[in-house]
Homo-oligomer: A and B are copies of this chain.
Amino acid sequence: MGNSFGKLFVVTSFGESHGRCVGVVVDGCPAGLPLKADVIQKELDRRRPEASAGSTGRHEEDKVEILSGVFNGMTAGAPICLIVWNKDVDSTEYEKIRCIPRPGHADYTALVKYGGYNDYRGGGRFSGRITAGFVMAGAIARRLLNIIGIEIVAHTVQIGSVEAAPKAISAIKKNVERNPVRCADLKAAGEMIKLIEKVKKEGDSIGGIVEALALNVPPGLGEPVFDTLEGDLAKAFFAIPAVKGVEFGAGFPAAAMRGSEHNDPFAIKKHNIVTLTNNAGGIAGGISNGMPLMARVAFKPTASIAKSQKSANIKSGKSLDLSIRGRHDSCIVPRAVPVVESMMAITMCDFAMRAGLIPGVIK
């Protein structure tokens, strides 16, 4: 269980890395939204390894098929099932490591939880490939958010120890798709690319941080005390494999700040109330305040590395050194940018619906 997300805009994920397909059912999308495959395909293509530095050698066409819910090029008010078929599957490497869990992977926890019946090939349900479904659902969510003017953009702010300098939102939007690490700071982008190549050569991997922004969010979204913006966004982000931290606004560094420093002062700007800083990341009391929503998502380094690692054979109970070949991302972060955007879009779409902002029929 646990494969559905959302209250009014409900996303149900299915499929495995080396199974027949990866898919998603989106329930709750209003009728009347123009939706052709190309809109979804465009987002899927951003997620393809070819578009990012440090990515896997697995080449999937990832061509979306719309199985239901769209009629005459418009959403029909019915659940929308979308799939991509798995084609470039090579499971030869996985059989031999069935009893030897790979460090950093979910092999062991899945084995325990599913009694060994889980599809372990390519990580099965735990593969980053599952996020193709998130991106398809996210493409729909973004279209709905566009109707009410909300825009989602994410960018890489850190790879390893290379940090991007802060950039204006306009620069982020302009630069992020122009380089294969999706970093708005082009100088840092260059260093990030070099770092990823270095790490790859060493048979190792590296982590990073993605920052996600939701722009033009009207004040008043969020349903505290439990369904806070932060809480539901965090839950959505943690569904992405390799995410180990989520923070909003000033985030963890806020712990070292004074109230007089962290509190965002209010001011009036063109008859609207705004804050002069955005340490809150656009959220107060779990509710949007009209400023840009700002989240940062920390990715651990990709678990798959070529270097030899210590593991143990579960059946024999013996320790051993494990070397894995395979086609893996040495840095998942650049490819994760559209996935982070998708999870943010899905979550914000649900909140917008709960606030009654998206009409039941799009006209």
The stretch among A38-46, A114-122, A145-153, A182-190 that forms the contact with chain B is A114-122
Are the CB atoms of A285 and B105 closer together than 8 Å? yes
List the 9 shortest-distance A-B pairs measured between CB atoms, nearest first. A106-B285, A2-B223, A2-B227, A245-B247, A115-B361, A104-B263, A205-B259, A77-B114, A265-B310
Binding site for B on A (CB under 8 A): 1-5, 7-10, 12-16, 19-21, 23, 25, 27-28, 31-32, 66-69, 71, 74-81, 83, 101, 103-106, 108-110, 112-115, 117-119, 124-126, 130, 158-161, 199, 204-209, 219-220, 222-228, 230-232, 234-239, 241, 243-252, 254-268, 271, 273, 275-276, 279-281, 283-290, 298-305, 307, 309-312, 314, 317-319, 354-356, 359-361, 363
Query: Residues of B contacting A268 with CB < 8 Å?
Result: 312, 317-319
Given contacts A246-B247, A298-B252, contact A4 B8 (CB under 8 A): no
| A299 CB, min distance to chain B CBs, angstroms | 6
Not counting A115-B363, A238-B286, A244-B250, a sample of 20 additional A-B residue pairs whose C-beta atoms are within 8 angstroms of each other reads A2-B222, A2-B227, A31-B117, A74-B117, A77-B118, A109-B288, A110-B287, A206-B258, A225-B239, A228-B239, A231-B234, A234-B235, A234-B246, A245-B247, A255-B300, A257-B300, A261-B301, A268-B319, A276-B310, A356-B360
CB distance from A100 to the nearest CB of B (A): 8
What are 10 A-B contacts with C-beta separation under 8 Å? A21-B67, A106-B287, A199-B258, A205-B259, A207-B255, A244-B250, A247-B298, A251-B298, A259-B305, A279-B300
CB-CB < 8 A to A220: which residues of B? 109, 112-113, 360
Measured between beta carbons, the chain B residues less than 8 angstroms from A5 are 226
The reply to whether A259 and B101 contact each other, CB–CB distance below 8 Å, is: no
Please judge, given known A-B contacts A78-B125, A205-B259, A301-B257, whether A31 and B354 are in contact too, CB under 8 Å.
no
